[in-house]
Amino acid sequence: MKYSILIATLLSVSTLFSADVVQTTDAIVIQQTNAELAKVKAQLALAEQENQIVTQELAQREEELAAAASASDAAKEEVLKENKTIHISVVGQGVAPMNTYSPAQAYALAKRAAIADAYRAIAEKVKGVRIDGQDTIKNMMVQRSTIRTYVQAMVKNADIVETTFKEGLCEVEMEILISHSDFAQ
């Protein structure tokens, strides 16, 4: 009988201890989950802040782009208004004729042709090209296709930057600085 009572008391004590352990483990788990939740909340708050910063940056960039676009438009107007210069660079090509007396003559003639081509290129860039086109079609077939282009301009103060002559082809690199006052004349 004594032993049975002792065993019973021991069992009850052991159950009590085990309940305490369970309680302590539950408390730790809850604390951990709370800490994780707090971390997640903190991360969410950070992410929201980052989102806000990104949206602000995007808005700023859009504003900057709009400002840059308006500034470039203004700059284009300024070029014409404030006599700022525009730099134009072209390359003209010329070929030496077949019946030349010497390589020197061939070079001189090819260079002249290349200069004319460069002048034409400058005139095209600055003043533009007039284009006419005509196609003749007969029985659903193109009989004749014609394209005509015209350029008329006055070019002055063009500078030759570089001249190369290779295998009968002369290339002249030419540049010109243009300001509004040149057009006003």
Partner 1 sequence: MRSRNGNFNFSLRLCTIILFNSLALSASEYLISYKYVVKDATLYNETLLVSKAMTKCEGNPQEEFILQNNSEENLKKLISKNPEEFLEYIHKLGLHVNHDEKTINLQNSYTTILTLKTTCFKVDFNDNFATIAPLK
Whose CA is closest to 114, among 158, 178, 56?
A: 158
Q: Report yes or no: 178 and 84 within 8 Å, Cβ to Cβ.
A: no
- Which range touches partner 1 (CB under 8 A), out of 5-13, 18-26, 37-45, 113-121? 113-121
Q: How many residues bind partner 1 (CB under 8 A)?
A: 32
Residue found under tokens 């690199």: 173
Residue found under tokens 């730099």: 87
- Which range touches partner 1 (CB under 8 A), out of 47-55, 71-79, 83-91, 94-102? 94-102
* Other beta carbons within 10 Å of 118: 26
∠ CA(102), CA(105), CA(111), 5° rounding? 140
168/180 with CB nearer partner 1: 168
In whole angstroms, how close is the CB of 151 to partner 1 at the nearest point?
Answer: 4
In whole angstroms, how close is the CB of 161 to partner 1 at the nearest point?
Answer: 14
4/99 with CB nearer partner 1: 99
Residues 128-167 that bind partner 1 (CB under 8 A): 144-158
Q: Report yes or no: 94 and 172 within 8 Å, Cβ to Cβ.
A: yes
Residue found under tokens 């940056």: 57
In whole angstroms, how close is the CB of 68 to partner 1 at the nearest point?
Answer: 36
- C-alpha span between 143 and 145 (Å, rounded): 7
Residue found under tokens 């190369």: 164
In whole angstroms, how close is the CB of 81 to partner 1 at the nearest point?
Answer: 24
95 binds partner 1 (CB under 8 A): yes
4/146 with CB nearer partner 1: 146
Binding site for partner 1 (CB under 8 A): 93-97, 109-110, 112-113, 115-117, 119-120, 122-124, 144-158
